[in-house]
Chain A
Amino acid sequence: DTTVKQNPRYKLARVGKPVNLICSQTMNHDTMYWYQKKPNQAPKLLLFYYDKILNREADTFEKFQSSRPNNSFCSLYIGSAGLEYSAMYLCASSPGQNQAPLFGEGTRLSVL
């Protein structure tokens, strides 16, 4: 299977509640990414795992957490959702350095 899978495709959350998004791939890619995409904005890199090493972007450092329990799975965790978290969340994976990441179809999160 050469796809990146994301679950769920749609997620409704209440303000102040936690949100956990899941991503998986079985291509043995060493790097997995999470991007946030809002309408008319560029996909914004939130964080990525290179193997077991987590790299978080400076401006989203405190807002998002992630875990990668094994090579295939990666989660994105929001401890307390706010209205500004409503967006499409795209997971991607890459087999190595300088190789264009492969994206999943995304999870659309709506926070009410």
Chain B
Amino acid sequence: QQKVQQSPESLIVPEGAMTSLNCTFSDSASQYFAWYRQHSGKAPKALMSIFSNGEKEEGRFTIHLNKASLHFSLHIRDSQPSDSALYLCAEAYQGGRALIFGTGTTVSVSP
């Protein structure tokens, strides 16, 4: 059965620093991979997704996928207190229609 694992479980980052989150998955044949962010009491919201090996940058956020090493990461540059949230990584299966999630990393950005 497919499994997604995230590390670390929680992280405290000073404001302005880089936040780096890691994810390992079990099936390199998955169609796409995504990062979600969930603020307390709110719906999980998709941040970015990627389909093939490589890197993708949007603003302060960069994701990196390496299917050979089954590794997926998210980097947040110039972290802000508003970035404090639960971050979930996910891989798609079922023909790209269903996502399996990791347990998440709780990020706290201290002012």
Contact = CB atoms under 8 A, between A and B. Distances in A.
Interface in B26-74: 31-32, 34, 36, 41-46, 49, 51
Contact of B88 (A33, A43, A48, A102): A43
B31 to A, nearest CB: 5
A102 B104 contact: no
B50 to A, nearest CB: 11
B98 A98 contact: no
Contacts of A90: 43-44
A26 to B, nearest CB: 16
Interface string A23-59: 0000000010101000011111100101000010000
Interface of A: 4, 31, 33, 35, 40-45, 48, 50, 55, 90, 94, 97-98, 100-106
